[in-house]
Structure 1
C-alpha cells in the first residue's frame, strides 16, 4: 500500500483543435485585389481627365462605345469638322439635291466674319457629303479631303494616303485621283464667290541635301493644283495667291510622315 501512495499522479493533456484556421480562409485576398484594381482604375481615370483634351476624351468615348462606328466618327483629331472627316456618320444629303445659291462673306466685324466662315464650311461640307454618296469614285476621292475653319478662312485640305499619293513620286505630276478631286472641288467651290489661296506642303526628307527640293516641289504642286482646278472650270480670277511652304509646317509629330504631303485650298475671308 505504501508503494502505491508514493506513485506520481498521471496527468492527461488535451489539445484543443480549432477548425478553419486563424486567418478565416483566403476570401479577404480576393476582396483586397478587387479594391486595388478599382483604385488603380480610378487614378487612371483621374489622370486621363487631366492629361487629355476634350476632343481626345470624345475619341476615347467613341472607341469604347459599342453603338458608334469607329471609322466614321470623331477620333479626337484636330482637323476636319471638329475631329470628323467629310465622311461623317449620320444622314447624308441625297444625290441630285437642288443646287444652292452662291454665297459671299459680307458681314462686318470679327464675329460676323467667323459666322460667315462657319456658314461656308457647313454649306461646303453638305455639298461634299452629297458628292460622296454619288459613286465609289467620289468616295475614294473624299478619303483625301478634310476641312477646317481658321482665322484665314475655310481650309480644304487634300493629302496623300500611304497607298494612294496625289503626285507621281517626287514630282508635281498629278495622279489620276487628282482629276476626281479637282472636279469635285470646283463644283462645291461654285457655291461661294470668295477669293482662293492654294498652298503646297511636303514632308521632310530623311537626309540633309545640298539642293533640298522641298521649296520648289511644294510650290510646283500648288501651281499644279491651281492648273487642275482651272482645267475643271474654276475662274482664274478667283485665285488670289499661291504659296509653297516646303516642310516648314508639319501637322504630325513625325515631319517625315506621308501625311505631311498635302495641299490647301483656302476659301479666304473678305478681309484677307
Structure 2
C-alpha cells in the first residue's frame, strides 16, 4: 500500500442524554410529607374533640375567631365607646354613599352586648343549660371543686392556728421558771386528731396528791398557762385523765376509773376558770391505766397525766 494513503482513525463520540424526569425524583417526598402532616393534624383534632368538653371546645373556637364585634356599638372600646344610631348596627360597606349606609354581612359575633359592657344582653345565667342538660354536671363539678378548695383553705388555716398555739405554749413554758419540775413533764405533739398537750407527773413533782383528784397550786398554774396558750385557737377541746397501774385496796368502791375521770373533770374546771368557754370542751373522759406512756414500767410517775387535745375540724 502506498504511504500517501494512510487510513484515518475513526473517532466515535457517545453523547449521554439526561432524563428530564430525574429533576423531579424528590417531588413525591414533599407530597408525602404534606400528607403525613395533614393526617397528624387530623388525628390531633379528633383527639382534642374526644378529651375536651363543650365549653372547652367553644373557648378554643373563640380564641381562633379573628373578630369579636358588636352590631350595636360603634367607635372605640372603653371610655370612647359609642352607640350606633341604627339598630341594625354600625357595619357598612366602604362604597356606600355618604347619606346612607348599606349593611353588609356581619362577622360572627362572640358576645352580644347589652346595656352594660360587663353584662351580656339577654343572659342572666353565665352557664345556661344547653340542649340535653349537659351543663348541670359541669356546674356540679365546679361546685365540688370550689368546696374542695374551701376545705383545703380551712385545713391550712386550722393548721396554722395549731402551729401558733404550739409555739406560744412552748415559749410560755420556757419563760415560766416557777413551774419547777412540772415544766419538764409537758409533752406537746401534733397528731391526726389535733394538737395534743400531755401534762405528766414527775418523780418529785405532781399536779395531784397521791390518790386524790384535788389539783395543787403547781398543777393549777400549769393548767392556766395551757389555757392562755390555747385560748386564741377556736378549736374544740378534749380532756382525758390517766393513772398508773397502782390500784386501791378497796377497788370496788373507788378505783383508777373513778380517779382518772375525776382528775379530767378537775382539769376541765380549771380551764373554764382560766377563761376557756365551756362550749369548747366537748369530751371529758377517764382512761384509768389503759394507756401508759411508759408501758415497760406501769408504775412510772409519767403514766399519771392529763391529756388536752385541740381537735381538728373533722374530729
Q: Identify the residue that residue 165 of structure 2 maps to in structure 1.
A: 124
User: 8 Å contact 1:200–1:219 — kept in the other structure?
Assistant: yes
- Give the direction of change, closer, same or farther, for the CA distance of 1:208–1:250 in structure 2 (3 Å limit): farther
How far apart, CA to CA, are the structure 1 residues paired with 2:183 and 2:251?
Answer: 37
Deviation at 1:146, TM superposition (A): 1.3
Note closer, same or farther for the CA distance 1:190–1:251 as it changes in structure 2 (3 Å cut): same
Deviation at 1:138, TM superposition (A): 4.7
Give the 5 Å matches for 1:26-175.
108=151, 113=155, 118-138=159-179, 141-175=182-216
TM-score (norm: length of structure 1): 0.55
| Residue in structure 1 matching 2:312, options 263, 269, 272 | 269
> Any unmatched runs of 5+ in structure 2?
1-148
Structure 1 counterpart of 2:236: 195
Alignment check: 8 A CA contact 1:166 1:174 kept: yes
C-alpha contact 1:159 1:259 (8 A) present in aligned 2? yes
Please list the CA deviations of residues 214-263 of structure 1 after superposition, one character each: whole Å capped at 9, or x if unmatched.
10000000000000111111111110010100001112121221110011
Contact 2:182 2:202 (C-alpha < 8 Å) held by counterparts = no
Closer/same/farther in 2, CA of residues 108 and 144 from structure 1, 3 Å limit: same
Q: Distance in 1 between matches of 2:150 and 2:189?
A: 20
**CA–CA distance in 2 between the matches of 1:159 and 1:168?**
13
Distance 1:153 1:267 in 2: 5
- The equivalent position to 2:285 in structure 1, one of 238, 243, 265, is 243
1:111-146 deviation digits (Å, cap 9, x = unpaired): 974x56653443123212332343422565532311
Structure 1: how far apart are the matches of 2:245 and 2:158? 31
Runs of 4+ in 1 over 4 A off after TM superposition: 115-118, 138-141, 206-210
User: Do the aligned partners of residues 151 and 179 (structure 1) sit closer, same or farther apart at CA in structure 2, a change above 3 Å counting?
Assistant: same
After superposition, the C-alpha distances for 1:47-85 in whole angstroms (9 at most, x for unaligned) are xxxxxxxxxxxxxxxxxxxxxxxxxxxxxxxxxxxxxxx
| Alpha carbons of structure 1 residues 133 and 153: separation in structure 2 relative to 1, 3 Å | closer
Q: With the length of structure 2 as denominator, give the TM-score of the two structures.
A: 0.48
